[in-house]
Chains A and B, each alone.
Chain A
Amino acid sequence: MSPHNPASSRRRFLRQSLAALAGGAGFFAAPQSLSLLNAAWAQQPSCSGDYKALVCVFLLGGNDGHNLVVPRGSVEYAHYATRRRGLAIAQNQLLPITPQAGAAFPLGLHPAVPELAQLFETGKLAIVGNVGALLQPVTRQQYDDRSARLPPQLFSHNDQQAFWQSLQARSATDTTPASGWAGRLADLAQPRYNACASLAMNLSLAGANPFQVGRGSEALSVDSGQISAIETDRDPTAAAVLEAVYGDVQSNLLAEEYRRATRRAIDDYAVLRSALAAAAPLATPFPPPPGEGDPASARFAFTLGNQLRRAAELISVRQALGHRRQIFFCSLGGFDTHDAQSADQPQLLAGLSQALAAFHRATQELAVESQVTTFAASEFGRSMTSNGDGSDHGWGNHLFVLGGAVAGRRVYGAIPDLAASSEDFAADGNLIPKIGVDQYGATLARWFGIEDAALLDDCFPNLRNFAQRDLGFMSGP
Chain B
Amino acid sequence: MRALLYRLALASLAVLLPPLLQAQSQDLVFRDRFDASDRPATRGEAARFLTQATFGPSDPQIDSLAAGSYAGWLAQQRALPPSLVLPYMRAQSGTTDPLQAIPFHVYRQAWFVRVLGAPDQLRQRVAFALSEILVVSERGNGLDNDGLALGAYYDILLRNALGNYRQLLEEVTLSPAMGRYLSMYRNRKPDPANNIQSDENYAREVMQLFSIGLVKLNRDGSPVLAGGQAVPTYDGDVVRGFARVFTGWACHCGAGQPCPADPFPVEPFTCSTEHEMVPYEAYHDRNEKRLLDGAVLPAGRDARPELEQALDLLFNHPNVAPFIARQLIQRLVSSNPSPAYIARVAAVFDNNGQGVRGDLGATVQAILLDDEARRGPRSLPSTFGKVREPLLRLTALWRAFDVEWENDELFPDDREIHESHNQSPLLSPSVFNFFSPTYSPGGALVQNALVAPEMQIVTANFAIRLANDVSNRVFWGYRGGPMDEFDDRVRLVLLDRWVQLLQPVAGGNEAPPGAVDRLIDRCADLLLGGELTPALRQRIRSRVLALPPDEPLRRVQNAIYLIATSPEFAVQR
Q: Which residues of B contact A238 (CB under 8 A)?
A: 471, 475, 543, 557-558, 561-562
Which residue in chain A gives the minimum CB-CB distance to B451? A254
Contact between A388 and B188, CB atoms less than 8 A apart: yes
Contact between A173 and B228, CB atoms less than 8 A apart: yes
Which residue in chain B gives the minimum CB-CB distance to A177? B446
Which residue in chain A gives the minimum CB-CB distance to B446? A177
Q: Is the C-beta of A98 less than 8 angstroms from some C-beta in chain B?
A: no
Contact between A158 and B432, CB atoms less than 8 A apart: yes
Q: Which residues of A contact B267 (CB under 8 A)?
A: 340
Contact partner of A171 (CB less than 8 A), chosen from B230, B384, B457, B568, is B230
The A217-253 residues at the B interface (CB cut-off 8 A) are: 218, 220-223, 225, 227-235, 237-239, 241-242, 244-246, 248, 250-253
With A171-B230, A256-B567 in contact, do A207 and B457 touch (Cβ < 8 Å)? yes
Q: Is the C-beta of A76 less than 8 angstroms from some C-beta in chain B?
A: no
Q: Which residues of A contact B188 (CB under 8 A)?
A: 388
Contact between B561 and A255, CB atoms less than 8 A apart: no
Q: Which residues of A contact B535 (CB under 8 A)?
A: 248
Contact between B562 and A172, CB atoms less than 8 A apart: no
Contact between B385 and A245, CB atoms less than 8 A apart: no
Contact between B561 and A258, CB atoms less than 8 A apart: no
Q: Which residues of A contact B446 (CB under 8 A)?
A: 177-178
Q: Is the C-beta of B236 less than 8 angstroms from some C-beta in chain A?
A: yes
Q: Is the C-beta of A465 less than 8 angstroms from some C-beta in chain B?
A: no
Q: How far is the CA of A233 from the CA of B469 in the complex (A)?
A: 12
Which residue in chain B gives the minimum CB-CB distance to A174? B228
Q: How far is the CA of A175 from the CA of B188 in the complex (A)?
A: 43
Which residue in chain B gives the minimum CB-CB distance to A173? B228
Q: Which residues of A contact B12 (CB under 8 A)?
A: none
Q: Is the C-beta of A449 less than 8 angstroms from some C-beta in chain B?
A: no
Q: Is the C-beta of A361 less than 8 angstroms from some C-beta in chain B?
A: no
Q: Which residues of A contact B565 (CB under 8 A)?
A: 242, 245
Contact between A177 and B447, CB atoms less than 8 A apart: yes
Which of B204, B383, B443 has the largest count of A CB atoms less than 10 A from its CB? B443
With A158-B432, A242-B467, A256-B567 in contact, do A390 and B558 touch (Cβ < 8 Å)? no
Which of B228, B442, B475 has the largest count of A CB atoms less than 10 A from its CB? B442
Contact between B199 and A259, CB atoms less than 8 A apart: no
Contact partner of A338 (CB less than 8 A), chosen from B183, B445, B562, is B183
B396 to chain A, nearest CB (A): 15
Q: How far is the CA of A269 from the CA of B463 in the complex (A)?
A: 12
Q: Which residues of B contact A100 (CB under 8 A)?
A: none
Q: Is the C-beta of A10 less than 8 angstroms from some C-beta in chain B?
A: no
Question: Number of contact residues on A: which range applies?
Answer: 35 or more
Contact between B194 and A85, CB atoms less than 8 A apart: yes
Q: Which residues of B contact A158 (CB under 8 A)?
A: 432, 436
Q: Which residues of A contact B467 (CB under 8 A)?
A: 230, 242, 262
Contact between A383 and B464, CB atoms less than 8 A apart: no
A28 to chain B, nearest CB (A): 16
Which residue in chain B gives the minimum CB-CB distance to A239? B471
Contact between B460 and A220, CB atoms less than 8 A apart: yes
Q: How far is the CA of A464 from the CA of B183 in the complex (A)?
A: 41
Question: Number of contact residues on B: which range applies?
Answer: 35 or more
Contact between A262 and B195, CB atoms less than 8 A apart: no
Q: Which residues of B contact A364 (CB under 8 A)?
A: none
Interface-side segment among A64-72, A113-121, A149-157, A352-360:
A149-157
A93 to chain B, nearest CB (A): 21
Q: Is the C-beta of B201 less than 8 angstroms from some C-beta in chain A?
A: yes
With A260-B443, A268-B460 in contact, do A242 and B561 touch (Cβ < 8 Å)? yes
Q: Which residues of B contact A221 (CB under 8 A)?
A: 459-461
Contact between A340 and B445, CB atoms less than 8 A apart: no
Contact partner of B198 (CB less than 8 A), chosen from A172, A234, A333, A387, is A387
Q: Which residues of A contact B64 (CB under 8 A)?
A: none
Q: How far is the CA of A266 from the CA of B422 in the complex (A)?
A: 18
Q: Is the C-beta of B46 less than 8 angstroms from some C-beta in chain A?
A: no
Contact between B461 and A252, CB atoms less than 8 A apart: no
Q: Which residues of A contact B422 (CB under 8 A)?
A: 207
Which of A152, A252, A254, A255 has the largest count of B CB atoms less than 10 A from its CB? A254
Q: Is the C-beta of A265 less than 8 angstroms from some C-beta in chain B?
A: yes
With A155-B236, A392-B197 in contact, do A254 and B445 touch (Cβ < 8 Å)? yes
Q: Which residues of A contact B558 (CB under 8 A)?
A: 235, 238, 241
Q: How far is the CA of A261 from the CA of B463 in the complex (A)?
A: 8
Contact between B475 and A232, CB atoms less than 8 A apart: yes
Contact between B442 and A218, CB atoms less than 8 A apart: yes
Q: Is the C-beta of B452 less than 8 angstroms from some C-beta in chain A?
A: yes
Contact between B539 and A257, CB atoms less than 8 A apart: no
18 contacts between A and B (CB under 8 A): A153-B214, A157-B431, A172-B215, A173-B228, A213-B442, A228-B465, A235-B557, A235-B558, A242-B565, A250-B533, A258-B387, A258-B463, A262-B460, A262-B463, A338-B182, A338-B201, A390-B183, A390-B201
A-to-B contact residues, CB < 8 Å: 23-25, 60-61, 82-86, 152-153, 155-159, 171-173, 175, 177-178, 204, 207-208, 213, 218, 220-223, 225, 227-235, 237-239, 241-242, 244-246, 248, 250-262, 264-266, 268-269, 333, 336, 338-340, 344, 383, 385-388, 390, 392-393, 428-429
What 6 pairs between A and B have smallest CB-CB spacing? A265-B460, A172-B230, A339-B183, A221-B459, A259-B567, A223-B461
Q: A254-B571, A340-B141 are in contact. List 17 more A-B contacts (CB 8 A).
A: A155-B204, A156-B204, A227-B461, A229-B464, A232-B468, A233-B471, A245-B536, A245-B566, A245-B567, A253-B383, A254-B387, A255-B571, A257-B443, A336-B430, A339-B142, A387-B198, A392-B199
